[in-house]
Chain A
Amino acid sequence: MSKYIQKDESKDGIDRRGFLTCMAWAGAGMVWAMQGGILRSRALGAEAVGIAGADFTFAQVSDSHIGFNKGVYSDVVGTFQQTVDRLNALAKPPSLVLHTGDLTHLSKPAEFDTVAQMMKSIKTGQSFYVPGEHDYFVDNGQQYLDRFGKGTRGSGWQSFDFKGVHFVGLVNVANLSNGQTALGVLGDEQLEWLEKDLAGIKAGTPIVVFAHVPLWTVYEKWGWGTQDGERALRYLKRFGSVSVLNGHIHQVLQKVEGNVSFHTARSTAFPQPEPGKADSPGPMKNVAAEKLKSYLGLTTVDYVEHSGMLATTDLTLADAAGMKRL
């Protein structure tokens, strides 16, 4: 757990440890691996080579915000295209791609068109989606569900099995509280479905949960959490290996609690400040154009069936070298 990135260490002097940390932040990527329910994270390096034997790989992209166009973040289509290109350049194409929401910025038909076309151009078996609030608030998710909700229930939740892993996509942006809480809400209907969905799954099955807003409370003041996320986590408790993949906060954060590892992905569009480190969670100010790509990125996950290992690698768009190593 010692080498994952919490801060931009590159602002000051670099020692050996800081260098490894900095490498990860600036783009060499990082790997975290789950073994027997315990998460270990490492800077991407020699350890990552062992993951080459993974049974399958899947990728997470998030917060593409197609339609956003402000300041240094004026080319969100371009940065998302780079993400797509990076995925298509992988030696072993990802079996699946998960988009964890905020596909669009303003839910405009043209924005949905663009993101749908770009997602289609990824060389992968199948793509799965959960909505972000930006895909939902304009029309209560109507367009999103028309386009991406096939085979899902309610506000867009779903589950499926892939090569021994049970995937669950949850929706916590449907504005169920009508402003009574700042946090995301899953709601009773979805939680009851989740309980039933998990009931038939053996405790040894690795579970991957993906949702837009973090299921654990990252920072309540900015609404970075899910009010009834705890109830979902209670249903997940008996499983030996649970990985929760979220977006929404436009930065990498991770945490381990028992057998559950939490992970948030970078945005492909614009970064947001660390919790509480700015007056508001608005797009980060004063990011130099040439450094932008080190704040944007994607996540790839390798699953090694026989060792029960799940390894997540976060890659920034500035990270060409790291991709080659994979």
Chain B
Amino acid sequence: MKSRIRWMSVSVAAIAGGLILGAAGMTEGNIGLGTTTAPAPTTAPDVSSAATVEIDNFNFKPRELTVKVGATVTWANHDDVPHTATGKGKSPAFDSKMLDTDDKFSFTFKKAGTYAYYCKVHPHMTATIVVK
């Protein structure tokens, strides 16, 4: 639905451009089309950024990580015991479930906010993801 609206508005603009150009006595309708497609990139989502949190010696590293909206964060467990990366609270935004040694888990943050999380096996392990 969205793309059809955009396509229609583009064609309307092109026709309008053609008319203006036509009024100026020129016939290069292509120029009008080119200028109207230019705003498209600004409406596309931000380029996804990616970040990694290393779980090492019962620590999330870094303890606080700031990423852009839409960023994918990957946790990697380097310890020889299992851990989780689980959002705090009753209905956490994310829960890696069990990460055994060398297991990884990724989550894409679509909403801005501060996400406090912990390890369900070792709740003294805590850290934060800030999404801006």
Contact = CB atoms under 8 A, between A and B. Distances in A.
Contact of B122 (A70, A105, A281): A281
A164 interface: no
Contacts of B4: none
Nearest to A185: B123
A282 B58 CA distance: 7
B124 interface: yes
B82 A106 contact: yes
A180 interface: yes
B98 A179 contact: no
Interface stretch (A12-20, A32-40, A130-138, A289-297): A130-138
Given A70-B101, A281-B122, A282-B79, A137 B88 contact: no
Contacts of A107: 98
Interface in B87-132: 87-90, 92, 97-98, 100-101, 116-118, 120-124, 126
A279 B100 CA distance: 20
Contact of B58 (A175, A179, A183, A281): A281
B105 to A, nearest CB: 14
A51 B79 CA distance: 44
B118 A221 contact: no
A182 B123 contact: yes
B80 A182 contact: no
Given A70-B101, A221-B124, A179 B118 contact: yes
A105 B117 CA distance: 22
- Residue among A106, A175, A280 with the highest chain B CB neighbour number at 10 A: A280
B82 A105 contact: yes
B97 to A, nearest CB: 7
A57 B126 CA distance: 42
A280 B59 contact: yes
A205 interface: no
A50 B126 CA distance: 49
Contacts of A106: 82, 98, 100
Contacts of A175: 120, 123
Nearest to B123: A182
B86 interface: yes
Interface string B55-93: 001110000000000000000000111101011111010
Given A70-B80, A280-B57, A179 B117 contact: yes
Given A106-B82, A133-B121, A179-B126, A282 B57 contact: yes
Contacts of A70: 80, 101
B101 A180 contact: no
A178 interface: yes
A133 B81 contact: no
Contact of B81 (A177, A180, A282): A282
A276 interface: no
B81 A283 contact: yes
A137 B58 contact: no
A222 interface: yes
A150 to B, nearest CB: 25
A178 B90 contact: yes
Given A179-B118, A182-B123, A223-B124, A283 B80 contact: yes
Contacts of A180: 88
B121 A137 contact: yes
Given A134-B121, A282-B80, A179 B57 contact: no
Interface string A91-124: 0000000000000011100000000000000000
Nearest to B117: A179
5 contacts: A105-B82, A133-B121, A179-B118, A180-B88, A223-B123
Interface of A: 68, 70-71, 105-107, 133-134, 137-138, 175, 177-183, 221-223, 279-283
Lowest 7 A-B CB distances belong to which pairs?
Answer: A280-B58, A182-B124, A179-B118, A179-B88, A223-B124, A70-B80, A137-B120
Interface of B: 57-59, 79-82, 84, 86-90, 92, 97-98, 100-101, 116-118, 120-124, 126
